[in-house]
């Protein structure tokens, strides 16, 4: 794994990747590298105009389709129209934004980063051939899952902690998804990745102009490039890994560097919380596990 780069991606001819938020940042970097290796890329984006512009910078076969993760109706429409494919990369997200609500009334960061991808993944599971890649963040360490107030309706909103909760939810989702896939006898794997500190436009949406300016300076001085930040995602998407594996930059503090096994917080390893969060997510989205599981030789809905 030492100094693994995009040049080490094996031939991807004949494989299709669906990448959410592939019109910019890490998603676009990953799309370019996978397409260069022969993959067909479906850019699942909220703004198709930006998606088309991004697709024109990719050398290879692409398709742009609208997906708004903050709208469960849009998620269902996307999943229904999508054909069979190989790898889903749950990359899209929002970060540290002012308090807002999705179309369905969820807190925007939790609703987009977790619930939107939760619904999308389960609706697409019967069509996924190989794996689901969940893009998380080191910010999961500041997160806490409040099952009684996941959408910040009764707690004073703190945007950084809301982002941390959403990213912690991503990792708990990955773990519980893999458990259910294994129980169902599915060959599909759920793995995760995080980019470390990468310079992308994700950090530029804070409600404070001063904070955005400070983040821009930090990006120029301390952050690694978006292309480097995409390497853990690319590694997780193309290498032989066990389910529930988690990949990040291998440098100090997992902030930068080449792909390596990543650490996660104790809260991210809480399997009981992962189960409870899954059940609550099903209640909120109306979407359940997308495959059947076999119990005593009888197929049952998980």
CA neighbours closer than 13 Å in the CB half-sphere of residue 63: 13
Catalytic residue among 157, 160, 163, 197: 163
d(CA 298, CA 113): 35
d(CA 243, CA 130): 11
> Among the residues of the chain, which ranges form H helices?
25-36, 48-55, 72-81, 108-109, 117-124, 159-183, 209-221, 226-238, 271-285
Phi-psi region of 137 (alpha: psi -120 to 50; beta: other; left: phi over 0): beta
Handedness of CA 43, 45, 49, 54 (dihedral sign): negative
Residue 163 a catalytic site member = yes
Alpha-carbon distances, residue 132 vs 187, 285, 296 (angstroms): 11, 19, 27
Catalytic annotation, residues: 163
């Amino acid at each position: 794994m030492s100094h693994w780069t995009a040049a080490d991606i094996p031939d991807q001819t004949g494989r299709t990747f669906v990448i959410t938020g592939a019109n910019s940042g890490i998603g676009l970097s990953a799309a370019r590298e996978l397409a260069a290796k022969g993959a067909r890329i479906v850019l699942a984006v909220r703004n198709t105009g930006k998606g088309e512009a991004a697709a024109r910078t990719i050398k290879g076969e692409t398709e742009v389709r609208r997906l708004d993760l903050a709208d469960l109706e849009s998620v269902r429409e996307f999943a229904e129209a999508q054909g069979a494919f190989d790898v889903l990369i749950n990359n899209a997200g929002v970060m540290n934004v002012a308090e807002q609500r999705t179309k369905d009334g969820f807190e925007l960061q939790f609703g987009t980063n977790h619930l939107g991808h939760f619904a999308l993944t389960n609706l697409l599971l019967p069509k996924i051939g190989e794996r689901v890649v969940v893009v998380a963040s080191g910010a999961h360490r500041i997160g806490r899952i409040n099952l009684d107030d996941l959408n910040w309706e009764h707690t004073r909103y703190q945007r950084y902690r809301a982002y941390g909760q959403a990213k912690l939810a991503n990792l708990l989702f990955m773990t519980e998804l893999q458990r259910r896939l294994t129980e169902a006898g599915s060959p599909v794997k759920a793995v995760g990745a995080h980019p470390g500190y990468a310079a992308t436009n994700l950090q530029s949406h804070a409600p404070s102009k001063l904070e955005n300016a400070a983040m821009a300076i930090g990006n120029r001085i301390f952050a690694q490039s978006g292309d480097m930040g995409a390497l853990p995602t690319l590694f997780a998407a193309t290498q032989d890994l066990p389910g529930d594996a988690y990949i990040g930059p291998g440098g100090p503090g997992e902030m930068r560097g080449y792909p390596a096994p990543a650490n996660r917080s104790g809260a991210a390893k809480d399997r009981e919380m992962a189960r409870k969060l899954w059940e609550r997510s099903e209640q909120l989205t109306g979407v359940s596990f997308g495959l059947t599981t076999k119990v005593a030789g009888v197929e049952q809905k998980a």
